[in-house]
Amino acid sequence: MTASPLPGVWRPGEDPGRRQFAVLRGPDGAAFTFEAGGSLPEVTVAYETWGTLDRSAGNAVLVLHALTGDSHAAGPAGPAHATAGWWGDLIGPGRAIDTDRFFVVCPNVLGGCQGTTGPASVAPDGASYGSRFPLVTIRDQVAVEAALADAIGIERWAGVVGGSMGGMRVLEWCVGHPGRVSRAVVLAVGAAASADQIAVCSLQMRSIRSDPAFAGGDYYRTGNRPVEGLALARGIGQVSYRTGREFDVRFGRSAQASEDPLKGGRFAVESYLEYQGEKLARRFDPNSYIVLTEAMNLHDIGRGRGGPARALSGVRADVSVAGIGSDRLYPLEQQRELARLLPGGRPVTVIESEFGHDGFLLEVDQVGAVVASALAG
């Protein structure tokens, strides 16, 4: 096994860890053609599984990650996985997503950088796609996930679960493939990206593209990645993911250790944001960040379907919606709108948290209770 020449990008030939792979094509073996008109001749999807698929293939649960997540939803960190599973406390024997009962599948999303085809992947001409990678939408990502389900023999999911960008894909599964989802859990997202969300995301993308090392998206051949731009993008995002109250309690106006802001030093909260940015820059590809952020900005469950009310009226799955009370990026009013538009009229479950949007990852007990109840059916 060799080390990746690009930090944050998994390459074929490296230690796969828990990853499995499926090489997929579109309908009738054709290339995948995407909503905005681009295409890919084929798509490799990296995915991980836990538990055992039963004889009827009726116990499968699809878990969908957020922007900077990947297929490693559960399990320890190691040579092949930079971090421990992002929902490891929810997936396993006897846990909310009980692997003694369910066969759990988590794919790395189209456009990602951890084994699924994305901008860093090698195109048929032998060079990375880079700036040539097509614009993809949430709908395109789910089309690839549906092809994966076909490939591994799952006609209908017992449950589909996800938060944030993962929640967008849960909604798209319910609307675009209504006969293939029995139960669903949508966390911390709305029916369409709002102007506020698009604004925050646009600044993040601009920070990456403004980095001199970005090279128009073709930095793979230069040996120099736009790490400063990605770190700044993550810092902008981190402010929106958390809350002002949390920052006040954790940092207040305190200075970083041994630094004096009056003499050019940093406040502690500045150091925290720099650390979060640098940490992400070591494990994620800047182009993937842009591709996935663009997909989130384009999220609109009602596009071409007569609007969100009409689109959601056709959902047949039993859908549970939850939101974070302190979420300033995806506020509760968006989840309440979803609940009003979905058949059944089930109320939103409010998860209380000081962590804002990140509560869907951090409030394990509350989120686990929502998920376990939904999957209990």
- pLDDT tens digits along 330-365: 999 999 999 999 998 889 999 999 999 999 999 999
Percentage of residues of the chain with pLDDT beyond 70: 98
Tell me, yes or no, if 357 is annotated catalytic. Answer: yes
pLDDT at 2: 41
Are the beta carbons of 231 and 345 closer than 8 angstroms? no
Q: Is the pLDDT of residue 20 over 90?
A: yes
Please state, rounded to an integer, the average pLDDT across all residues of the chain: 96
Comparing C-alpha atoms, which of 239, 68, 74 is closest to residue 165?
68
Residues 98-140 pLDDT 10s: 999 999 999 999 999 999 999 999 999 999 999 999 999 999 9
Question: Which amino acid is located at 292 in the chain?
Answer: L
Gap between the Cα atoms of 91 and 64, Å rounded: 13
Contact 179, 148 (CB under 8 A): no
- Whether 150 sits among the annotated catalytic residues: the reply is no
pLDDT of residue 270: 97
Q: Which entry of 70, 211, 327, 358 is annotated as an active-site residue?
A: 327
In this prediction, residue 4 has a pLDDT band, given cuts at 50, 70 and 90, of low
Domain ranges of the chain: 20-193+300-376, 197-296
71, 121, 128, 164: the catalytic one is 164
pLDDT value, residue 5 = 60
The pLDDT tens digits for 178-192 are 999 999 999 999 999
What pLDDT score was predicted for residue 85? 97
Which of the pair, 81 or 7, is modelled with greater confidence? Answer: 81
Q: Which residues contact 370 (CB under 8 A, 6 or more apart)?
A: 185, 187, 320, 322, 349, 351
Work out the percent of the chain whose per-residue pLDDT is above 90: 95
86, amino acid identity: W
Say which of 65, 72, 299, 357 is annotated catalytic.
Answer: 357
197-296 CATH choice from 3.30.70.3290, 3.30.365.10, 2.60.40.1180, 1.10.1740.110? 1.10.1740.110
The encoded tokens of residue 70 equal 């990947």
Residue 164 a catalytic site member: yes
What's the rounded mean pLDDT across residues 49-70?
Answer: 98
**For residue 3, is pLDDT > 90?**
no
Question: Scanning the structure block, which residue is given the tokens 């502690």?
Answer: 268
Q: What whole-number distance in Å separates Cα of residue 336 and Cα of residue 290?
A: 29
Question: Which class is domain 20-193+300-376?
Answer: alpha beta
Q: What's the rounded Cα separation, in Å, for the pair 334 and 348?
A: 10
